[in-house]
Structure 1
Amino acid sequence: MAANFAANSRYAATESRTWTTPDGQAIAYLARRFLPHPENLAGTGSHVVVAGDRLDNIAAAALGDPELWWRVADANRAMLPRELTGEPGTTLRIAQPEGVPGVPHV
């Protein structure tokens, strides 16, 4: 029994596992997803936060898909993604997901 996620999901490459209860019921769950080290992600650009910014809108503009907001969070080592847009003037890094090469000199 495997979990199926959309290709743009942060969990798409996360391994799924199955736990069997004492009564024989199989329960699927995801293995732990560790945050990548931002310094290992290939940068593709940046965004300076303005008042009212949201990660989904930033992802839509920078990556073409609002559901990729998690890539902005990962690139900026955010445990609480909403905090990334709380301070206007903050520069956010935009990056490729782990293992995908990026554009040099960005």
Structure 2
Amino acid sequence: MADIEPYESALDAIPGAHPYPRSSRYHDVEIGVHRAEDGTEVRYAKRRLLPPLPETGDVAEHTVSAGERPDLLAQRYFGDPGQWWQIADANPVLDPAELTDEAGRVIRVPYAGGFPGSGAPYV
């Protein structure tokens, strides 16, 4: 599979090849098309459903300290601050600020490889 990765990364760089890069939470979401009365097509991302969350395994626990932010945690755990959404999905929360708004809160952080049934690795 390592042979495919460079090609997939190259495809992400081509405008219009796919609306979302592989690192986006929307990469595997189905794209819908709405046709307006005047014939104009509007593309949109269909609803993104979270995979079932595992009870144990596949996640580490992190105790939030004062001043932490989701993007800083993503940088720490994944090496990419843009991957904060993986931590939000693992807890799950709608507002990522909820993850770190209370010092002492224990949150779940997915391990590399993602959750079973997610369809995409978590970095």
| Interval containing the TM-score (normalised by the shorter chain) | 0.7 to 0.9
Q: For residue 79 of structure 2, what is the aligned residue in structure 1?
A: 64
Give the distance between the partners of 2:29 and 2:78, measured in 1 at CA: 21
Is 2:101 the counterpart of 1:86?
Answer: yes
Question: Cα 1:43–1:88, aligned 2, differ >3 Å: closer, same or farther?
Answer: same
More RCO (CA 8 Å, sep 6+): 1
What is the aligned counterpart of 1:55 among 49, 54, 70?
Answer: 70
Question: Cα 1:68–1:37, aligned 2, differ >3 Å: closer, same or farther?
Answer: same
Q: For residue 20 of structure 2, what is the aligned residue in structure 1?
A: 5
Which segments of structure 1 move beyond 4 Å, counting only runs of 4 or more? none
- The two structures, once aligned, show a CA RMSD in angstroms of 2.5
* Structure 2: unaligned runs, 5 residues or longer: 1-15
| Percent pairwise identity | 36
Instruction: Provide the TM-score with structure 1 as the length reference.
Output: 0.82
Amino acid at match of 1:24: G
* Structure 1: unaligned runs, 5 residues or longer: none
